[in-house]
Amino acid sequence: MSDGDVGTPGGLRGFMFPRSATGRSSLVPAPPWHYSGQMLTIEYRTDPAAVAELLPPPLGPADEDPGAVAVIWADWQSCSDTFEELLDPVRAQYIETFIVVRCRYRGETYSRCVYIWVDKDFAMVRGHHQGYPKKLGELHVTRPVTVGLAGPRLEPGGRFGATCSAYGRRLIEATFTITGAAPSAGFVNGHPMVHHRVFPTIESDGTDSMHELVTMRGYDVEVGPCYAGDATIELYESPVEELTRLAPVEMIGGYWQEVGTNWRAGTTLERRLPT
């Protein structure tokens, strides 16, 4: 069955809502999805308790470096398997800023996104599908350039800034200065993801219609050279955020890398059915 057809005679078509007779209106096309972009990763350590409080059973803190956090800006171009979005780039391009921690599940270490903002609706709901708790924000990250003065070169001394705002409030500000090369872009976001996918019942009484623990990773990942360096980060208050609970205690460093990846499916690990 193709395109997320729900398998019901006369059923509507479309991977995601709104489902329709043709499937054309779906906010998110069916996977696989292809991504090419630039990722700036800032890693630091916070109080391990601040990470632990974001890990519900059956998850626990990572054995090593349980307070490690990554804040990542990813400046993406992405598309479905028709590649049509690349010719209508409003439907392909977006930036996301996400905060990742590590955790332990059944003896394995996983990465887990705890907070994340994007600036396009298709990216937001595609993220919900993958268990990323995406909200909308105003996100910017410096791009490297090869000509002219208005941007860093990918070499020692190259300086980057990155910001995340929502509802007109600045939430996160970071800087990154290249000092050299690195074998990989940090370690916090380096594991398969383990996410919850949750959705409350329409009875809205504290019960969930969907409450799953899932894991996933991309495939055919292709990366460019990785640049490492020094980083700074500041987290700010908002009436609808709690980022300052993850305030940095010790900086680890920063990394910049071009990344190509693809996503086809994840795996449901546990599922709590609604009663």
CA dihedral 112, 185, 64, 103 (to 10 degrees): 10
CB 48 → its own copies: shortest distance, Å? 13
- Under the binding rule (CB under 8 A), the answer on residue 203 touching its own copies is yes
Tokens of 126: 């595609």
**Cβ proximity to its own copies, 77 vs 109, nearer residue:** 77
At residue 224's C-alpha, the angle toward residues 32 and 33, to 5°, is 10
Structural Rg of the chain based on CA atoms: 19
CB 264 → its own copies: shortest distance, Å? 7
**Cβ proximity to its own copies, 151 vs 253, nearer residue:** 151
- Under the binding rule (CB under 8 A), the answer on residue 206 touching its own copies is yes
CB 64 → its own copies: shortest distance, Å? 22
- Under the binding rule (CB under 8 A), the answer on residue 191 touching its own copies is no
DSSP character string of 28-78? SPPSPEEEEEEEEEEEEE--HHHHHTT--TT-EE-SS-TTEEEEEEEEEEE
Region from 61-69, 139-147, 183-191, 247-255 binding its own copies, contact rule CB under 8 A: 139-147
Instruction: Count H helices and E strands in the chain, helices first.
Output: 2, 14
Contact 73, 94 (CB under 8 A): no
CB 134 → its own copies: shortest distance, Å? 8
Number of residues counted as binding its own copies (CB under 8 A): 125
Region from 61-69, 159-167, 183-191, 247-255 binding its own copies, contact rule CB under 8 A: 159-167
- Under the binding rule (CB under 8 A), the answer on residue 155 touching its own copies is no
- Under the binding rule (CB under 8 A), the answer on residue 183 touching its own copies is no
Task: Output helix, strand, coil percentages for the chain, rounded to the nearest 5.
Answer: 10, 50, 40
Write out the binding residues for its own copies, residues 13-32 only, by CB under 8 A.
Answer: 15-22, 24-27, 30-31
- Under the binding rule (CB under 8 A), the answer on residue 131 touching its own copies is yes
CB 63 → its own copies: shortest distance, Å? 19
Tell which one of 107, 180, 183, 239 touches its own copies (CB under 8 A): 239
Dmax of the chain from CA atoms?
A: 62
